[in-house]
């Protein structure tokens, strides 16, 4: 089975640009999570969806961040405008209820 697929793997862009990160969850999983990992703050949950509906977005740092899940096989995390402090590794994960979350390989984002 294919795991969680994220794209791009690496993104380098200049401050102020729009950044879009993409995620394809494991087929059949009804939960999808977006995390951010930094040395300073560790692994933080940004938002999660159940059956394509956002359930908890309390971890989204500010209005510059938005996430969508238009269907069961695709989600995006958008940052507009991007800032250097947004530099991090962003992980997408998916799961079934009460089961371990399966993580993608992550997107390493650098904002110059």
Partner 1 sequence: ELKVEQNPLFLSMQEGKNYTIYCNYSTTSDRLYWYRQDPGKSLESLFVLLSNGAVKQEGRLMASLDTKARLSTLHITAAVHDLSATYFCAVDSPGGNEKLTFGTGTRLTIIP
For partner 1, which is the closer residue by CB, 83 or 97?
97
Rounded least distance, CB 16 to partner 1, Å: 28
Question: Quick one: 14 or 53, whose CB is closer to partner 1?
Answer: 53
The secondary structure of the chain as a DSSP string is ----EEE-SEEEE-TT--EEEEEEPPTT--EEEEEEEETTTEEEEEEEEETTEEEE-TT--STTEEEEEEETTEEEEEESS--GGG-EEEEEEEE-TTSPPEE---EEEEE-
**Residue 81 beta carbon to partner 1: minimum distance, rounded to whole angstroms:** 28
**Min CB(55)–partner 1 separation in Å:** 7
Residues that bind partner 1 (CB under 8 A): 31, 33, 42-43, 45, 48, 50, 55-56, 91, 93, 95, 97-106
């Amino acid at each position: 089975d294919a795991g969680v697929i994220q794209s791009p793997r690496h993104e380098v862009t200049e401050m102020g640009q729009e950044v879009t990160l993409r995620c394809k969850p494991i087929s059949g999983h009804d939960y999808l999570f977006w995390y951010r990992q930094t040395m300073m703050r560790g692994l933080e949950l940004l938002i999660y969806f159940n059956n394509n509906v956002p359930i908890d977005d309390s971890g989204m740092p500010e209005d510059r961040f938005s996430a969508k899940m238009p269907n069961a096989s695709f989600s995006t995390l958008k940052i507009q405008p991007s800032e250097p402090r947004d530099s991090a590794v962003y992980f997408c994960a998916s799961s079934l209820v009460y089961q371990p979350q399966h993580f993608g390989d992550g997107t390493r984002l650098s904002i110059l």
